[in-house]
Amino acid sequence: TSSEAMDTLGQYKITVWEEENFQGKRCEFLMECPSIMERGFRKIRSIKVESGPWVGFEYPEYQGQQFILEKGDYPRWEAWSGNSGYRTEHLLSFRPIKCA
């Protein structure tokens, strides 16, 4: 069935927006993104993880502070920063977490 095909193909899916609360420019990804700026974005300020665990990074090329992004909605930076005490108001790269 088509849903089974989607399961294997859509193991990882994330949608990102340039502004908070799912506003502004958006893009869907099924695989890693070393720099959102290469896609014409200045930053990522809200995220919806459709499937798979992801890790988001403060800087391009998977540098800086890391944030685990599990399935769910992240309308603002507090949603991924939590109470880590480290303010990262945007993410610039991300990749799926491949489990062995």
Written as one letter, the residue type at 76 is R
Predicted confidence (pLDDT) per residue in 72-89, tens digit: 999 998 888 876 667 778
- Where does 2-96 sit in CATH, by number? 2.60.20.10
Q: Dump pLDDT digits (tens) for 24-62.
A: 999 999 999 999 999 999 999 999 999 999 999 999 999
pTM of the model: 0.84
Residue 68, burial from CB neighbour count under 10 angstroms (0-12, 13-18, 19+): exposed
> In the chain, what are the domain boundaries?
2-96
